[in-house]
Structure 1
Amino acid sequence: MRMVFRWFGEGNDSVSLTKIKQIPGVEGIVWALHDIPAGEIWPLDRIQEVKKQTDLYGFHLDVVESVNIHESIKLGSADRDVYIMNYLETIKHLASVGVKVICYNFMPVFDWVRTDLFRSLPDQSTALFYEKEKVTAMDPLELVRKIAANPDYTMPGWEPERLETLKDLFAAYQDVTTDDLMNNLQYFLEKVIPICEEYDIKLAIHPDDPPWEIFGLPRIVTTQDQLREIIKLVPSEYNGITLCSGALGARKDNDIVAMIHDFKNRIHFAHIRNVKLFDNGDFIETSHRTQDGSVPIDQIVKAYHDIGFDGYVRPDHGRHIWEEQCRPGYGLYDRALGIMYLWGLWDAYNNYNGKDVQYVTNQLEFKK
């Protein structure tokens, strides 16, 4: 596996490239131009500026997360081709600096959703938390009205600059079904994948987070069956998956290990993180350590090892520990600990895979 680390850019991230460089085994930066609105072309000079910054530290820019999809594409609106053409131009610009993978999502209206950014864990660290009952009972339009009256009243994962358009977006999605959304994704992929093939950049769709419908909005990247359907929409290796163990792992019926074996040729990017699930549907993010959550991180890493995975991996979210002041979920310390845990598992599988019988035999002989 090839270890990479998400970075939000100079002046926009509490974690510097200097600090990232000191994490063993990190070879690249997962990046984006976060200030460019969805649907606009990423300027070539801005892309080249990021490359100059990361070149100083010997990092590659192979993975972008993400080039956001305009809502017109998701809705199948009459103007979607305009935004698809802009997407194609951005792909060409990214190819010029060596980008190999674009992670993206197809979630309507929102990206990820949480109800608490700093929920306390038993060890007094804090982490991202999702309270299912609170979301289920919430009227999103009522929340929009509250935010309009009080900008400090917000929902983690909501983009403040889009709040004025939320009411119209909910109305636009009122009659959109999961089949409609899947068809609109297929339309997008059929236009984009040929350019990806030409410029050697793979698309990797990220699962919905959480992986179920919220606020009555359709979601189509929540299960193994849906992922299987998506990679069949356009039968090209360039139409692939970002397999996120944390997003998919929020559902007890998702078998991440089985997915790794099922989609091994289409996993272009892997997010590895742990979550602890509660019986009432709540979940909280934890350390990467297997025992701390409900996701079998040790078996997931073994599955990647077993398939000979040589793609890109990042530790995804982390807790907030040791009084670090950072972007929620994206501090230095716990993600660095996560990387070392993942490397430890990987090295153990490298060292003992296929040698276990001989190792045990040697130990028995030694004891004699």
Structure 2
Amino acid sequence: MNEPILEPDLPIVDPHHHLWDRRQRVADMRPPLHAFEKTIQLTPLYLLDQLLADLNTGHNVIATVHVQCGAFYRADGPEELRPVGETEFINGVAAMSASGLYGPVRACAGMVGFADLRLGNNVDAVLEAHEAAGGGRFRGVRHMLAHDDDPAVLGPLAAMPAGLAGDSAVRNAVRRLGARNLSFDAWALEPQLPEIADLAQACPETAIVLNHVGTPLGVGRYAGKREERFPIWRDSIRRLAALPNVHVKLGGLAMPFLGFATMGPDERPSSQQLAALWRPWIETCIEAFGPQRSMFESNFPVDRWGASYATLWNAYKRITAGASSTEKQALYAGAASAFYRLNIPA
């Protein structure tokens, strides 16, 4: 579905996308597939060329931030240092983009890597290696906290134990991030949001950004309960927003976790339809956090499950049609640029 691009001159910093090569993983998949595995099937290869194809669909994306996705880890060496391979790779992509040969956009101007926060205070050696490999672009860590007792919810992503946000070693490591002026990207599911609030309160000197509006659920044991759980999610969001060190990423709603029957690879809704579906979550977050602590994200290629890149940003722009120019500047570029300390005009 090709739509006219809304507000094509509005500068955008996309603060959450991935680059990966999942072709072998896709080749090894066997049915029945979880919805997230089907998501990977849609885009098994997503490197600079594929990213640029999306960035060049008409929206004015001026820079991006790459967020860890377990790609291009080192094949050998100490286990805790293997994720540094992802930072090495992404820094090379960022250098390619910074050359200007691929257009004015600065892809991967910032990067978020992985360090096992269960290392506690011993995480510093891994952070030092990331910073050395990042060419001045390394900005923080994402250690997935998402967990649910129902394996049908996360499928292949069900790798983390329960209660990780309350682990003392993890909290010590999150504090080490703040001490190094690095941030923490927190991906957890809606029922876990009180744990994220407790973590943020225990680590007030560390800047934390909640991924994907806290991932509301409508699959597995939550099927049919999305609207019922909305007030629970809203209360958790308001508690998180009361903590000044917490920001929020507005996106991830095109993933399969919400269980929208009218959204998916075989259903390609318009931006008007997507805006209607997503508006309650997006507007609640903006109202709670304010534009200066809220940043729109693409979460591509994962969110290709429910929308094309161009349609996704059109949907966001429909939701914020009544916002002021100052508010839009923050939501689409300013908040992300400030949070990740990007050296770009925004």
TM-score (norm 1): 0.54
Displacement of 1:232: 1.8
- Go from structure 1 to structure 2 and tell me whether the alpha carbon gap of 1:61 and 1:259 turns closer, same or farther (over 3 Å shift): farther
Question: Is 1:270 matched with 2:249?
Answer: yes
Please name the residue that 2:322 is paired with.
348
Question: Is 1:52 matched with 2:116?
Answer: no
Question: Is 1:12 matched with 2:45?
Answer: yes
Question: Is 1:36 matched with 2:73?
Answer: yes
Displacement of 1:106: 2.3
Letter of the structure 2 residue corresponding to residue 16 of structure 1: L
Match of 2:210 among 213, 221, 242: 242
CA distance, structure 2, for counterparts of residue 189 and residue 27 of structure 1:
34
Match of 2:299 among 316, 321, 326: 316
Please name the residue that 1:145 is paired with.
none
CA distance, structure 2, for counterparts of residue 237 and residue 187 of structure 1:
15
Out of 46-55 and 254-263, give the one that drifted further: 254-263
1:127-206, aligned counterparts within 5 Å? 135=152, 157=156, 178=163, 181-184=164-167, 186-198=168-180, 200-206=181-187
Please name the residue that 2:127 is paired with.
88
CA distance, structure 2, for counterparts of residue 273 and residue 81 of structure 1:
29
Question: Does the Cα contact within 8 Å between 1:249 and 1:275 map onto a contact in 2?
Answer: no
Please give the per-residue CA displacement for 1:45-83, whole angstroms capped at 9, x wherever unaligned.
53431221232343253554551537xx2xxxxxx4697
Displacement of 1:290: 7.7
Please name the residue that 2:312 is paired with.
338
Question: Is 1:297 matched with 2:285?
Answer: no
Displacement of 1:105: 1.1
1:107-146, aligned counterparts within 5 Å? 107=146, 135=152
1:236 aligned counterpart, secondary structure? coil
CA distance, structure 2, for counterparts of residue 290 and residue 302 of structure 1:
18
CA distance, structure 2, for counterparts of residue 183 and residue 261 of structure 1:
20
- Go from structure 1 to structure 2 and tell me whether the alpha carbon gap of 1:315 and 1:329 turns closer, same or farther (over 3 Å shift): closer
Question: Does the Cα contact within 8 Å between 1:40 and 1:83 map onto a contact in 2?
Answer: no
- Go from structure 1 to structure 2 and tell me whether the alpha carbon gap of 1:253 and 1:277 turns closer, same or farther (over 3 Å shift): farther
Please give the per-residue CA displacement for 1:67-116, whole angstroms capped at 9, x wherever unaligned.
1537xx2xxxxxx46972443224423664334343331246xxx99xxx
Question: Does the Cα contact within 8 Å between 1:246 and 1:271 map onto a contact in 2?
Answer: no
Displacement of 1:316: 2.9
- Go from structure 1 to structure 2 and tell me whether the alpha carbon gap of 1:289 and 1:231 turns closer, same or farther (over 3 Å shift): farther
Please give the per-residue CA displacement for 1:255-305, whole angstroms capped at 9, x wherever unaligned.
455554433334445041437999xx9665555858559964256246426
Pairwise CA RMSD: 4.6
CA distance, structure 1, for counterparts of residue 286 and residue 64 of structure 2:
21
Question: Does the Cα contact within 8 Å between 1:101 and 1:203 map onto a contact in 2?
Answer: yes
Letter of the structure 2 residue corresponding to residue 344 of structure 1: R
TM-score (norm 2): 0.57
Please name the residue that 1:360 is paired with.
none
Structure 2, unmatched stretches of 5+, are: 1-11, 22-43, 219-225, 328-346
Displacement of 1:340: 1.5
Displacement of 1:352: 12
Q: Percent identity?
A: 7
In the comparison of the two structures, how many residue pairs are matched?
263
Structure 1, unmatched stretches of 5+, are: 74-79, 114-131, 137-154, 160-168, 212-221, 318-326, 354-368
Out of 287-296 and 28-37, give the one that drifted further: 287-296
Letter of the structure 1 residue corresponding to residue 173 of structure 2: K
Question: Does the Cα contact within 8 Å between 2:112 and 2:138 map onto a contact in 1?
Answer: no
Question: Is 1:253 matched with 2:229?
Answer: yes
Higher helix share: 2
Letter of the structure 2 residue corresponding to residue 102 of structure 1: V
2:324 aligned counterpart, secondary structure? helix
Please give the per-residue CA displacement for 1:144-199, whole angstroms capped at 9, x wherever unaligned.
xxxxxxxxxxx96359xxxxxxxxx9xxx9xx763xx3442x3223234334433x
1:270-289, aligned counterparts within 5 Å? 270-274=249-253
CA distance, structure 2, for counterparts of residue 107 and residue 298 of structure 1:
22
Please name the residue that 1:356 is paired with.
none
Please name the residue that 1:361 is paired with.
none
Question: Does the Cα contact within 8 Å between 1:277 and 1:294 map onto a contact in 2?
Answer: no
Please name the residue that 2:7 is paired with.
none
Letter of the structure 2 residue corresponding to residue 34 of structure 1: A
2:323 aligned counterpart, secondary structure? helix
Letter of the structure 1 residue corresponding to residue 308 of structure 2: D
